[in-house]
Structure 1
C-alpha cells in the first residue's frame, strides 16, 4: 500500500513539506496538533535559545523580536473581532436606549393616566359630599314634616268646611231665587219696583 503523505506549508519559511502517513498517525496517537513548520525550521528553532524565539500568542507563528505578540494575520483578525464586538455592544446599547426611551414614554403615559384617575376620584368625592348634603337636607325636611303634618291636616279640614259652607250658601241662594221667581212670577217689573220703594219708605219712616 502506497504511503499517503500530507502536504503542508511551513509558517516560517513558506516552503511546502510532506508529512508522512506514519507521522500523521504518530501525531494523532499522541494527541498533538499537526506541525506548522518543516523539519529544517523545527530543527533550527530547537537549536535557537528559548529567549530569542517569539511566537504568535494565537496561532504559534514565529515573530521577529520587535514584533507584537500577534502576527499580522492574527492581529487583523483580532481587530476585526474587536470591531465586531464593538458593533454588537453599540447595537445592544442602541437597543437598550430605545427600550429606555419606550419605558420613559410608558412612564409618562402611566403618570398622565394616574393624574386623570386622581382627578376622577376627586370629582366623585365632591359629588358624594354634595349628595350627602342633599341627604341631610331631605332628612331635616322629613324631621320638620313631623310637626307640619298636623297643621296641614287642620288647614285641609278647614278648606273642606269652607267648601261645604259655600255649597250650603249656594243652595240657599238658589232656593231664595226660586221662591222669588215663584212669588213674583205674575207681577210686572214695575210693580216689583213700587213694592220695593214702599218697603224702603216704611223702613225710613
Structure 2
C-alpha cells in the first residue's frame, strides 16, 4: 500500500504532498521516479515549454497553412477539400463521409 509523503519542489523549494493516489497512478504507469516539482511548477513548466516550441491549442503552433486541393467526394459527390493532390489511385471523401467511413472501419 502507498502512503502520502511530503516532497520538496526543486524549482520553488516549497513542500508538496505526493499522495497515495498519485503514487499508485505513477506505479500503474510504470514511472519509477517521484515528481521533483510541485503541481504549480509542473504546470508552469509545461506551459512555458509549449510556448517555446510554438505549440498552442491543438498543437499546431506556427505551422504554415497547408495547401488544400478540391476534389469530388467519391461517396456523396460534394466538394471535398483535402491536403493532398488526388491522383485517382485512392478514393477521396469529404469530411463527413470520411468520418462515417472511419467509424465503420474501426
**What TM-score bracket applies, with the shorter chain setting the length?**
0.3 to 0.5
Higher strand share: 2
Higher helix share: 1
Instruction: With the length of structure 2 as denominator, give the TM-score of the two structures.
Output: 0.42
**Taking CA–CA contacts closer than 8 Å with sequence separation of 6 or more, which of the two structures ends up with the larger relative contact order?**
2
Whichever of the two has the greater Rg, that structure is 1
